[in-house]
């Protein structure tokens, strides 16, 4: 009979905290902005360097490494019954501009360390264990969030969108991929899609990106659901003109239309009736962007989420109505209103939640059930596999900014819960 995962005594699970911290710091150095910020954009030169760093760590950890057409990287520890569906865990290493060094990274480097912890404890996997580093969880370069995991989940809309997306410098996705060494073509995408038999479970270790665990002094968050994200691209066009010569009644200012819509987003979110509804205008660009030129074009990108999909969709409808009303009232053209993604929430698998609770108890770690307000690759892996997430506290809940921080002790706790949960699921 297989040794139960729980025969792994807490003391036999030793995390190499010094080594793990060093890897986190080394990875953070692959950045286009100065420390303590991290900027690592899909297929950039720094991303390519970081990818080879991850591949070398996977090889050193004794995993067999492969990459798919768009650069999702897989490191596999073959189990005794390697023909069974494997247990997978992973996250991302791309980082939005001027962000931190823990978002995503904890779930990739921490997963590799969980493999080492199990190997050091003498554990023998029955189902293979696989670490996945997803290509581009952040939407930064092409406006598509969770690009790698959406493709693995077989979302055709993304495969189609890649035909025509371009980045800020007008590079196509395929040109950017080729520049990073991925000679991928449209027809390669569909054979990336996973089947429901690919994995028996998918787990992700991640910083909470919220203040609850730290405030309540709880060591481990066990996620029950991931909120439903959506993003919208909007453009207004007006006549522009001379800031001095064109009198106010004659203006149709695309910039003011954008400003009014941004405030409308806040209004519609606040009137949703729930604290769980959020909305953000993180990108607002004015063209031509000269102090004495009336904006002739404005471009906004809106991010709105809720754990209740219907409530979130109502907000999107109201935003669309406001955009149309504002354009008419100001005599500007609503030249674009594109819902880029409008995803359902994902529920975590009960048996995985349970395994994480048992692992936390076994390790004497305080833990609590909670939702994830941030999205993750897990949101899409949930479409092809039972999914679970482990959160660890982060400093004041900060994320997506250079002050993002998680202590190596908290990271080690997360690694141990992940290791025990992987071991249990591998023996199932
Ligand atoms: O925006 C998010 O929720 C994720 O951290 N990229
Ligand atoms: Mn993020
Ligand atoms: Mn993340
Ligand atoms: Mn080619």
pLDDT means per 10 residues in the chain (428 residues)? Answer: 62 93 98 98 98 98 98 98 97 98 98 97 96 98 97 96 96 98 95 94 98 98 97 98 98 98 98 96 98 98 97 98 98 98 97 97 97 97 98 98 98 98 96
Are 105 and 219 in the same domain? yes
The angle at the Cα of 132, spanning 421 to 111, to the nearest 5 degrees, equals 40
Tell me the CA–centroid distance for residue 377 and ligand 3, in Å.
8
Tell me the CA–centroid distance for residue 400 and ligand 1, in Å.
8
The pair phi, psi for residue 390, each rounded to 5°, is -115, 125
Q: Is the CB of 260 under 6 A from ligand 1?
A: no
Report the distance separating Cα 305 and Cα 359, nearest Å.
31
Report the distance separating Cα 281 and Cα 386, nearest Å.
33
Choose one of 342, 360, 383: the last residue of a domain: 342
Q: Which domain holds residue 307?
A: 228-342
Beta 86-92 vs 199-207: how paired, if at all? parallel
CA 372 from centre of chain = 11
Are 191 and 326 in the same domain? no
Both structure tokens of 303: 């991010």
Report the distance separating Cα 64 and Cα 72, nearest Å.
14
Ligand number nearest to the C-alpha of 210 = 1
pLDDT at 1: 41
Query: Measured between alpha carbons, how far is residue 420 from residues 92, 188, 358 in Å?
Result: 21, 36, 9
Are 400 and 261 in the same domain? no
Q: Is the CB of 306 under 6 A from ligand 1?
A: no
Are 216 and 241 in the same domain? no
Q: Is the CB of 375 under 6 A from ligand 1?
A: yes
The pair phi, psi for residue 224, each rounded to 5°, is -105, -30
Tell me the CA–centroid distance for residue 184 and ligand 2, in Å.
25
Output the residue whose Cα is nearest ligand 1's atom 3: 374
Q: Is the CB of 404 under 6 A from ligand 1?
A: no
Q: What's the number of domains the chain is made of?
A: 2
Both structure tokens of 340: 């880029």
CATH number for the domain spanning 213: value is: 3.40.630.10
With 0-12 CB in 10 A as exposed, 13-18 as middle and 19+ as buried, what is 43? buried
The structure tokens 């921490």 sit at 110
Ligand number nearest to the C-alpha of 182 = 4
| ipTM computed for the complex | 0.90
Contacts of residue 12, Cβ cutoff 8 Å, sequence gap at least 6: 121, 122
Written in H, E and C, the secondary structure of the chain is CCCCHHHCCHHHCCCCHHHHHHHHHHHHCCCCCCCCCEEECCCCHHHHHHHHHHHHHHHHCCCEEEECCCCCEEEEECCCCCCCCEEEEEEECCEEEEECCCCCHHHHHHHHHHHHHHHHCCCCCCCCEEEEEECCCCCCCCCCCCHHHHHHCCCHHHHHHCCCCECCCCCEHHHHHHHCCCCCCHHHHHHHCCCCCCEEEEEEEEECCCCHHHHHCCCEEEEEEECEEEEEEEEEECCCCECCCCCHHHCCCHHHHHHHHHHHHHHHHHCCCCCCCEEEEEEEEEECCCCCECCCEEEEEEEEEECCHHHHHHHHHHHHHHHHHHHHHHCCEEEEEEEEEECCCEECCHHHHHHHHHHHHHCCCCEEEEEECCCCCHHHHCCCCCEEEEEECCHHHCCCCCCCCCCHHHHHHHHHHHHHHHHHHHHC
CATH number for the domain spanning 300: value is: 3.30.70.360
Mutate to test the pocket of ligand 1, among 38, 94, 105, 137 (most ligand atoms within 8 A of CB): 137
The angle at the Cα of 403, spanning 397 to 404, to the nearest 5 degrees, equals 50
Are 378 and 290 in the same domain? no
Tell me the CA–centroid distance for residue 423 and ligand 4, in Å.
40
Are 39 and 186 in the same domain? yes
Tell me the CA–centroid distance for residue 136 and ligand 3, in Å.
10
Are 371 and 414 in the same domain? yes
pLDDT at 12: 81
Contact 214, 395 (CB under 8 A): yes
What are the beta bridge partners of residue 372? Answer: 226
Are 318 and 281 in the same domain? yes
Are 124 and 249 in the same domain? no
Are 190 and 58 in the same domain? yes
b/e per residue, 295-331, with b = 16+ CB within 10 A? bbbbbbbbbbbbbbbebbbbbbebbeebbeebbeebe
Are 34 and 141 in the same domain? yes
Are 211 and 332 in the same domain? no
pLDDT at 5: 60
Mutate to test the pocket of ligand 1, among 397, 400, 404 (most ligand atoms within 8 A of CB): 400
Looking at the CA of residue 103, tell me the nearest atom of ligand 1.
5
Cα torsion angle, 27, 13, 416, 74, sign: positive
Ligand number nearest to the C-alpha of 228 = 1
Looking at the CA of residue 376, tell me the nearest atom of ligand 1.
4
Rounded to the nearest 10 degrees, the angle between the axes of helix 408-427 and helix 17-28 is 110
Both structure tokens of 292: 């004495």
Choose one of 320, 342, 364: the last residue of a domain: 342
Choose one of 342, 358, 387: the last residue of a domain: 342
């Amino acid at each position: 009979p297989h040794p139960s995962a729980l025969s792994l005594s807490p003391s036999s699970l030793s995390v190499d905290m010094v080594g793990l911290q060093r890897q986190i710091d080394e990875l953070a150095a692959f950045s286009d902005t100065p420390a303590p910020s991290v900027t690592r954009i899909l297929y950039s030169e720094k991303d390519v360097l970081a990818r080879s760093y991850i591949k070398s760590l996977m090889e050193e950890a004794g995993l067999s490494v492969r990459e798919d057409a768009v650069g999702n990287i897989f490191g596999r520890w073959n189990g005794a019954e390697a023909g069974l569906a494997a247990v997978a865990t992973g996250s991302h290493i791309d980082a939005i501009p001027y962000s931190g060094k823990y978002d995503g990274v904890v779930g990739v480097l921490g997963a590799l360390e969980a493999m080492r912890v199990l190997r050091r404890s003498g554990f023998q996997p029955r189902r293979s264990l696989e670490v996945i580093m997803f290509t581009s969880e952040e939407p930064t370069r092409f406006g598509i969030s969770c690009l790698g995991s959406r493709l693995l989940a077989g979302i055709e809309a993304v495969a189609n969108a890649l035909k025509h997306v371009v980045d800020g410098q007008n590079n196509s996705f395929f040109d950017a991929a080729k520049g990073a060494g991925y000679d991928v073509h449209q027809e390669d995408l569909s054979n990336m899609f996973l089947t429901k038999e690919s994995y028996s479970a998918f787990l992700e270790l991640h910083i909470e990106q919220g203040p609850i665990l730290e405030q309540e002094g709880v060591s481990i968050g066990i996620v029950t659901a991931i909120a439903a994200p959506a993003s919208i691209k909007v453009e207004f066009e007006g006549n522009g003109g001379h800031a001095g010569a064109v009198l106010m009644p004659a203006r149709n200012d695309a910039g003011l239309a954008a400003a009014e819509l941004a405030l409308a987003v806040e209004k519609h979110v606040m009137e949703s009736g729930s604290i769980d509804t959020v909305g953000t205008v993180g990108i607002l660009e004015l063209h031509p962007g000269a102090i004495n030129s009336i904006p002739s074009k404005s471009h906004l990108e809106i991010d709105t989420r809720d754990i209740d999909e219907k409530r979130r969709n109502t907000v999107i409808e109201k935003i669309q109505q406001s955009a149309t009303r504002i354009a008419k009232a100001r005599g500007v053209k609503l030249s674009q209103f594109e819902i880029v993604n409008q995803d359902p929430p994902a529920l975590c698998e009960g048996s995985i939640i349970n395994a994480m609770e048992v692992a936390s108890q076994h390790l004497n770690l305080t833990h609590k059930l909670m939702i994830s307000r941030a999205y993750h690759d897990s949101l899409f892996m949930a479409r092809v596999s039972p999914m679970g997430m482990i959160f660890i506290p982060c400093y004041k809940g900060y994320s997506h900014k250079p002050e993002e921080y998680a202590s190596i002790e908290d990271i080690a706790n997360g690694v141990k819960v992940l290791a025990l949960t992987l071991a249990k699921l591998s023996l199932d």
